Structure 1
Amino acid sequence: MNLDLPLPDKSDPVWSAANGFVVRSSEGITKLINGGQETFTVKATGEQTDGKLSLMEGEVSPGFGNLPHAHGVEDEAFYIVSGEFRFINGNQTFDAAAGDFIYIPRGTRHGFKNISTEPSRLLVFYSPAGAEEFFLKYGEDPDPSGKLPPHWSEEKFSSLADALTAHHMILLPDSNDWK
């Protein structure tokens, strides 16, 4: 193609600097959350993106998801790969299915729950990066034998209070959440 546009000189690094990266489908760091009912693979970290973005791929068992919460630093976005999820956005709920995209700005109460009868998949983006570090540090490593860790109890969440605060996350559950 021969475009009649101003182009940078061929000595400009924009022509040759290979600063991007690829993470293959079998790559990433996998962690189990909530007794293995939620499996998240961190595909891109803030360390890899100079803090700009992180990406996790999740598979969530039917009836499971995260507690409603808010982030103080990161915006969060979701892309539903398969299944159907119910989302909380402030004091409202809505359902989202495969192909839907959800954006939640920082400071907004939100959460999700798999309402399908099968495990469902979603992509989770954080901008800027940072929240993925919580999963890397506090998620459990998969057991090679397939044994699942215990479900996260109230005591577990209480033990994570300082870590949640350090990651600028506030848990905001309500007994009426998933109605």
Structure 2
Amino acid sequence: MSAINHRTVPTQTFDWGLIKWFVSPLATPGAKLTFGEVVLLPGEGHTRHNHSAAEEILYVLSGEGRQMVDDKPEFQVGPGDTIYIPTAIYHSTVNTGWEPLRLLALYNPGGAEVDLAALPDFAEVPAGSLPRLQRKA
């Protein structure tokens, strides 16, 4: 059994928010899934995308947003809601509130998170350092 301290995990930053991956096949010996926390800034979100080889589960910790799954009409999400996204299904999440939208995210099997490093706004902040967020004009 391993305990992961959030202070020992790097933070991935994007124009839309932050991610900390606490468990992943690349960083956690024996792990077959990926698990982490996603923070979407107010008015920001993940545009339409899919994960060709992984299903995803999102659990809303706090905040409010709009969720789209399988190009069907968007629906509101808030604290306590769980969203299941089957493998290869297109989806998007947008924060519609004034506060950060905090989600737990799980990929099964793990590994889909490596694609995020190829995004143009990706930057990684080392473990123990505080990420800086910049307000858009």
| TM-score after normalising by structure 2 | 0.81
Q: Is the 8 A contact 2:10 2:125 kept in 1?
A: no
| Alignment coverage as a number of residue pairs | 129
* Structure (1 or 2) with the greater strand fraction: 2
**Paired residue for 2:2?**
21
Deviation of 1:42 (Å)? 1.2
Deviation of 1:84 (Å)? 0.8
Pairing 1:70–2:50 present: yes
| TM-score after normalising by structure 1 | 0.64
Q: Tell me, what secondary structure is at the counterpart of 1:102?
A: strand
Deviation of 1:53 (Å)? 0.6
1:117 alignment partner, one of 98, 103, 112: 98
Can you give the 5+ residue segments of structure 1 that lack an aligned partner in the other structure? 1-19, 152-179
Q: Tell me, what secondary structure is at the counterpart of 1:59?
A: strand
| Matched-pair identity in % | 27
Pairing 1:61–2:61 present: no
Distance 1:135 1:49, change over 3 A: farther
Q: Is the 8 A contact 1:56 1:132 kept in 2?
A: no
Distance 1:46 1:146, change over 3 A: closer
Deviation of 1:26 (Å)? 2.7
**Paired residue for 2:12?**
31
**Paired residue for 1:43?**
22
Q: Tell me, what secondary structure is at the counterpart of 1:141?
A: strand
**Paired residue for 2:107?**
126
**What per-residue deviation string (whole Å, max 9, x for no partner) do you get for residues 34-66 of structure 1?**
2xx311111111132535210121111111111
1:141 alignment partner, one of 124, 127, 136: 124
Can you give the 5+ residue segments of structure 2 that lack an aligned partner in the other structure? none
Distance 1:147 1:24, change over 3 A: closer
Q: Is the 8 A contact 1:142 1:148 kept in 2?
A: no
Q: Tell me, what secondary structure is at the counterpart of 2:74?
A: strand
Aligned amino acid, residue 62 of structure 1? P
Deviation of 1:142 (Å)? 3.6
Distance in structure 2 (CA, Å) of the matches to 1:59 and 1:45: 18
**What per-residue deviation string (whole Å, max 9, x for no partner) do you get for residues 101-128 of structure 1?**
1110112111100111111211111000
What is the root-mean-square deviation in Å for CA atoms of aligned residues? Answer: 2.4
Which structure would you say has the larger RCO, counting Cα contacts within 8 Å and 6 or more residues apart?
2
Say which one has the larger Rg.
Answer: 1
Distance in structure 2 (CA, Å) of the matches to 1:28 and 1:137: 19
Q: Is the 8 A contact 2:13 2:131 kept in 1?
A: no
Q: Tell me, what secondary structure is at the counterpart of 1:57?
A: strand
